[in-house]
């Protein structure tokens, strides 16, 4: 499996052509309506004083998403922002800060960040959430931030998203541990008959 990355950490990542030129940097990550995959990125100019760019980067033009850069074939891959992010504001608002419920009806927390897979897939593999009492026991003052894998089928509405109850058994405290848990979670799901 490719390296996992938190969507928020992608901000300021340079967008580099295969010709070696940095053409922009990432401003925001845009997801599809079901929060299943990355559909593109909004961009800002590189440098201290440059603001947001009029153009955005559709995922189809991404050569590879890496730890140090987003690689694109050439600068012609950039598109008008309206094409890439038709309903961006709505979707951003929908995923971040949304309540996370299990399909058994337990509230487990709220979404802080979206975890995506690097490379060429752009898949959303899980979420970083502020864990509620149901998920992590202990005092409220010790607010726990954990990673939960996303289920194959995930329901996202205006204010909540629903994950399978067994996903909550695969929470992890940090990204490296989460990589192993996601693998285990998917292995088990494949093993169980539908």
Residues binding another protein (CB under 8 A): 14, 16-22, 63-71, 118-119
Q: CA nearest 156: which of 93, 73, 108, 112?
A: 93
Name which of 25 and 91 has its Cβ closer to another protein.
25
| Nearest distance in Å: CB 54, another protein | 21
| Nearest distance in Å: CB 121, another protein | 12
| Nearest distance in Å: CB 25, another protein | 11
Dmax over CA atoms of the chain, in Å, equals 55
170 within 8 A of 148, measured Cβ to Cβ: yes
| Nearest distance in Å: CB 174, another protein | 20
Name which of 119 and 183 has its Cβ closer to another protein.
119
Residue with tokens 């760019």: 53
132 within 8 A of 148, measured Cβ to Cβ: no
Tokens encoding 53: 């760019």
Tokens encoding 29: 């990550």
| Nearest distance in Å: CB 46, another protein | 9
Name which of 22 and 134 has its Cβ closer to another protein.
22
| Nearest distance in Å: CB 19, another protein | 4
DSSP 146-171: EEEEPPSS-EE-SSEEEE-GGGGGG-
Name which of 22 and 180 has its Cβ closer to another protein.
22
Name which of 63 and 189 has its Cβ closer to another protein.
63
CA 193/CA 3 separation, integer angstroms? 29
Query: What does the buried/exposed string (b/e) look like for 83-103 if buried means 16 or more CB atoms within 10 Å of the residue's CB?
Result: ebbeebeebbebbbebbbbbe
Residue with tokens 């079901």: 34
Name which of 23 and 30 has its Cβ closer to another protein.
23
């Amino acid at each position: 499996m490719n390296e996992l990355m938190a969507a928020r950490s992608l901000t300021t990542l340079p967008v580099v052509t295969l010709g070696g030129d940095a053409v922009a940097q990432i401003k925001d990550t845009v997801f599809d309506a079901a929060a299943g995959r990355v559909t593109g990125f909004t961009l800002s100019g590189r440098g201290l004083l440059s603001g947001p760019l009029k153009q955005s980067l559709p995922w189809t033009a991404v050569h590879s998403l890496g730890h140090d850069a987003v690689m694109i074939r050439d600068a012609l891959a950039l598109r008008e922002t309206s094409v890439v992010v038709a309903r961006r504001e709505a979707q951003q608002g929908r995923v971040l800060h949304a309540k996370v419920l299990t399909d058994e009806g337990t509230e487990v927390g709220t979404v802080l960040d979206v975890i995506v897979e690097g490379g060429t897939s752009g898949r959303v593999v899980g979420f970083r959430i502020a864990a509620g009492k149901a998920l992590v026991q202990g005092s409220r003052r010790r607010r726990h931030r954990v990673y939960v894998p996303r289920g194959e089928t995930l329901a996202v509405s205006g204010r909540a998203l629903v994950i399978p109850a067994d996903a909550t058994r695969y929470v992890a405290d940090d990204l490296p541990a989460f990589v192993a848990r996601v693998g285990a979670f998917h292995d088990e799901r494949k093993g169980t008959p539908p």
